[in-house]
Amino acid sequence: MNLKKPLTVETISLDLQGDSKEAILAEMVDLLVASGHIRDRDAVLKAVLEREKRMSTGMQNGIAIPHGKTDSVDCLVAALGIKRAGVDFGALDGQPSNIFVMTVSPDSRTGPHIQFLAEISRPLNDASVRAKLLAATSPDEVLHLLIG
């Protein structure tokens, strides 16, 4: 499925180092820079931080989906990061977040973001998949769990 193309082994980190929301977000933007699709790192980080200020993207069950819109990308790009110890992301359920899926999409297009969220949420909604993600030992394994 084309929508899963944004997620590649290069944009997956199994061991995020940051201990704060800001540090995690910066680390994940750097993962996206590694994908080669971002023209302006600082513009992307700013978009993601501003979005986070409006309402935390920390959801439930350890999942956070930070995202932003900027014309620094031509198409939707995505990264996935794991921080087993968890970080306080101000999540809706009050629990620490340990699985982060970041998407950055162009200002002008709205459809792909909702589609990507739906695709990625199906496996993430499954507790056994979340447990396997947290135990994964390679980016390939993560991709396989999410994309099959």
Partner 1 sequence: MDSDRKPTKAAAALTREVTVLNRYGIHARPAALLVKAATGFAGEILLEKNGVQVNAKSIMGLLTLEGNHGAKLKIHAAGPDAAAAVAALADLFERKFYED
Q: CA-CA-CA-CA torsion for 93, 95, 101, 102, nearest 10 degrees?
A: 80
Q: Residue 120 CB, nearest distance to partner 1 (Å)?
A: 8
Using CB under 8 A as the binding rule, whether residue 76 contacts partner 1 is answered as no
Alpha-carbon gap, residue 123 to 13, rounded angstroms:
18
- Pick 44 or 124: Cβ nearer partner 1: 124
Alpha-carbon gap, residue 12 to 7, rounded angstroms:
7
- Phi and psi of 105, rounded to 5°? -130, 160
Candidates 67, 77, 83, 133; binder of partner 1 (CB under 8 A) is 67
Binding site for partner 1 (CB under 8 A): 54-55, 57, 59-61, 63, 65, 67, 92, 110-111, 113-115, 117-118, 121-122, 124-125
Catalytic (active-site) positions = 67
